[in-house]
Chain A
């Protein structure tokens, strides 16, 4: 008899979702789905609001990556205003975004993923969490907490609040940086470098223990999309998008935020509130692609900072072409943390960083505008339309998690097929099904711009549709 396994909720994710695994009469995995089960409606309730309120309104979508929303939103507003922001404002925003990337990656790696990586996929679920990690590897636990603190303290220094800072506004930022704050940030750098050094060493030591997982954790050829600078270095708030195929060949380059809307479509599947983004010329699902740290490192040719450059070269050795296993998202994330700290240091030495011209002003000069940025988990796109008074009449957001949705679903199926035999499975196997989703570090609240709660579920469903087993947490 066929059956369905439900994991509900999936744990150690940002947001709430469930996984269902469908088995056939022979107990073989027929299909598996990752469901995002919440709806929020930010696009609807922003209608009628003045466009210059959008950054602070949209930042409320997420408490982990509000800065990415602030920046993509502010860029969309600047397209409406038709202004170019002052150099110092752009540098300050870059720095704020990197601080957020460091803290978000630290959250994903240390708090959510490393219990699996450093304690083991089969370890006791009671201690398979940050506290268990801190007890077993206190230095790494401290490094994780320290890197998060570094990012969050920087955001607080720049934007006066750790979460949802109001500092980023259409046209730039509201306050320039003071010498005192700059020095405070500089003083935090040595500890941050030490923390990421420790994490990279620890990860490289244990990566070889996960050969089987690396082989089946969403490991398949796919397209990749990310921002890239003109000099082919990594970009988070600048540059244009590049889409490459599974062999690393460029499919489309120089994609601006305006072009994004023309070529990226969003498909809807009945089992999830998160849409499935795809490249229109290739259709759905062939045009699906991956975004985030793995995609960024696969696409860029250089990091642009000394130590991260070395790490990039090492990362690129993992495969002949683009690195295909999503397990390596973890590695890519650590390389990006190192880059983030180095780049912050570089920006702080800019002779114009304390300049007080940090905001351009203008009214409505265009009725439509789009902006894009790299959130920690991938490409983020905001697109707005306004009336003559600048009141919002329409908006659309395309979020990283929606762009990784197809790959996450394929990954869940791949892991389930490889581990579940004859309808038999253990807690450790189901943890791997969750762990493949964790590699993408999805943010389900962002992806559905949704309201409410979504702890994760896994269910095992028979061919008759009966639910045979279910793991629910939360």
Chain B
């Protein structure tokens, strides 16, 4: 959610001339113009953190790759969202995600409805060239309705943001650094004993099978994160 101004900026994305409001991000403008940029941590209705780096784009005149979700548009900018270099980087990021924890699609509740899995397919990921870390991670099944399986978490922090920004409960947060990073409830208490309001928004926005509804085991478990922009719109209208 960026602060959008009234001033109009003209820029080029993938050789297509587009107009945007000042303050809009490259990703927002690209989506408005049906230009696809892959994302994982981004979700319409939540703040942007630029955590997953999948939305990296090339900007003419800069040797660096820039995350489209947190970069605001500039007049005359020339953006490229698709190149061999970008695909290579995006695929490597996915391989790192798959190698980091234990993603076993065949027995995962999110199989067929997983954003990580879909991106793997979209980017033609057939192998992971890195050795799997196979970490021994816990499953928190203490909650009456939901389960958190840290094996499948990609640390996108959507759950943390939706809980703090939309539900206003801020039960979820991140603990640790680097490879030891993990999402926690309250001050690292069990989810079932936390101050969770049981609204289930975190489950709906989780892109993988890391947070899931216990009653959905064995069945299709699609997630419905599209409620967020509407929720925001209704709140603003009040």
Binding site for B on A (CB under 8 A): 48-50, 52-53, 55-57, 60, 164, 166-170, 174-175, 361, 363, 389-391
- State whether A50 touches B107 (Cβ < 8 A): no
- A174 to B220 Cα, complex, angstroms: 9
Residue among A48, A49, A57, A389 having the largest count of chain B Cβ atoms under 10 Å: A389
Interface mask (B196-238 → A, CB under 8 Å = 1, otherwise 0): 0000000000000000001101110000000000000000000
- State whether A175 touches B219 (Cβ < 8 A): yes
- A1 to B124 Cα, complex, angstroms: 61
Question: Given B140, B141, B219, which contacts A169 in the complex, CB threshold below 8 Å?
Answer: B219
- State whether B107 touches A60 (Cβ < 8 A): yes
- State whether B218 touches A50 (Cβ < 8 A): no
Please report which residues of chain B, range 165-196, place their CB below 8 angstroms from some CB of chain A when the two chains form the complex: 192
Q: In the complex, how many angstroms separate the beta carbon of B24 from the nearest chain A beta carbon?
A: 42
Q: Which residues of B contact A56 (CB under 8 A)?
A: 107, 217-218
Q: Which residue of B lies closest to A74 (CB)?
A: B218
- A164 to B132 Cα, complex, angstroms: 25
Q: Which residues of B contact A164 (CB under 8 A)?
A: 106
- A52 to B149 Cα, complex, angstroms: 13
Q: Do most interface residues of chain A lie in helix, strand or loop, or is the interface mixed?
A: loop
Residue among B140, B141, B215 having the largest count of chain A Cβ atoms under 10 Å: B141
- A60 to B107 Cα, complex, angstroms: 9
What are the 5 tightest A-B residue pairs by CB atom distance, in nearest-first order?
A: A169-B218, A174-B219, A389-B141, A52-B217, A50-B141
- State whether B192 touches A389 (Cβ < 8 A): yes
Q: In the complex, how many angstroms separate the beta carbon of A270 from the nearest chain B beta carbon?
A: 31
Q: Which residues of B contact A53 (CB under 8 A)?
A: 107, 109, 217
Q: Which residues of A contact B138 (CB under 8 A)?
A: 48
Cβ of B81 < 8 Å from any Cβ of A? no
- State whether B219 touches A166 (Cβ < 8 A): yes
Q: Which residues of A contact B192 (CB under 8 A)?
A: 389
Residue among B139, B215, B217, B219 having the largest count of chain A Cβ atoms under 10 Å: B217
- State whether B139 touches A174 (Cβ < 8 A): no
- State whether A50 touches B214 (Cβ < 8 A): yes
A-B contacts, 21 of them at CB < 8 A, read A48-B138, A50-B147, A50-B214, A52-B214, A52-B217, A53-B109, A56-B107, A60-B107, A164-B106, A166-B218, A166-B219, A167-B218, A169-B218, A170-B217, A170-B218, A174-B218, A174-B219, A175-B219, A361-B215, A363-B144, A389-B140
- State whether B219 touches A60 (Cβ < 8 A): no
Q: In the complex, how many angstroms separate the beta carbon of A164 from the nearest chain B beta carbon?
A: 8
- A56 to B139 Cα, complex, angstroms: 17
- A389 to B191 Cα, complex, angstroms: 11
Question: Given A49, A57, A166, A169, which contacts B139 in the complex, CB threshold below 8 Å?
Answer: A49
- A161 to B233 Cα, complex, angstroms: 41
- State whether A391 touches B218 (Cβ < 8 A): no
Interface mask (B99-117 → A, CB under 8 Å = 1, otherwise 0): 0000000110100000000
Q: In the complex, how many angstroms separate the beta carbon of B114 from the nearest chain A beta carbon?
A: 15
Question: Given B142, B215, B219, which contacts A389 in the complex, CB threshold below 8 Å?
Answer: B142
- A166 to B25 Cα, complex, angstroms: 42
Residue among A50, A57, A167 having the largest count of chain B Cβ atoms under 10 Å: A50
- A60 to B108 Cα, complex, angstroms: 12
Q: Which residues of A contact B144 (CB under 8 A)?
A: 363
- A164 to B104 Cα, complex, angstroms: 15
- State whether A48 touches B219 (Cβ < 8 A): no
Apart from A48-B138, A170-B218, what are 10 other A-B pairs with CB-CB below 8 Å? Answer: A50-B139, A56-B107, A56-B217, A57-B107, A60-B107, A167-B218, A168-B218, A170-B217, A389-B141, A390-B141
- State whether A55 touches B218 (Cβ < 8 A): yes
- State whether B107 touches A391 (Cβ < 8 A): no
- A363 to B144 Cα, complex, angstroms: 8
Q: In the complex, how many angstroms separate the beta carbon of B70 from the nearest chain A beta carbon?
A: 36
Q: In the complex, how many angstroms separate the beta carbon of A307 from the nearest chain B beta carbon?
A: 35
- A60 to B219 Cα, complex, angstroms: 16
Q: In the complex, how many angstroms separate the beta carbon of A66 from the nearest chain B beta carbon?
A: 12
- A164 to B219 Cα, complex, angstroms: 13
- A391 to B218 Cα, complex, angstroms: 16
- State whether A391 touches B139 (Cβ < 8 A): yes
- A197 to B107 Cα, complex, angstroms: 39
- A50 to B191 Cα, complex, angstroms: 15
Given the known A-B contacts A48-B138, A389-B141, are A169 and B217 also in contact in the complex, defined by CB atoms under 8 Å?
yes
Question: Given A166, A168, A175, A391, which contacts B141 in the complex, CB threshold below 8 Å?
Answer: A391
- A391 to B137 Cα, complex, angstroms: 13
- A167 to B218 Cα, complex, angstroms: 6
- A211 to B165 Cα, complex, angstroms: 79
- A170 to B140 Cα, complex, angstroms: 19
Q: Which residues of B contact A169 (CB under 8 A)?
A: 217-219
- State whether A48 touches B107 (Cβ < 8 A): no
Q: In the complex, how many angstroms separate the beta carbon of B235 from the nearest chain A beta carbon?
A: 33
Please report which residues of chain B, range 134-158, place their CB below 8 angstroms from some CB of chain A when the two chains form the complex: 138-142, 144, 147
Residue among B107, B139, B144, B218 having the largest count of chain A Cβ atoms under 10 Å: B218
- A170 to B215 Cα, complex, angstroms: 10
Q: In the complex, how many angstroms separate the beta carbon of B215 from the nearest chain A beta carbon?
A: 6
Q: Which residues of B contact A167 (CB under 8 A)?
A: 218
Q: In the complex, how many angstroms separate the beta carbon of A273 from the nearest chain B beta carbon?
A: 23
- A390 to B146 Cα, complex, angstroms: 12
- A164 to B111 Cα, complex, angstroms: 13
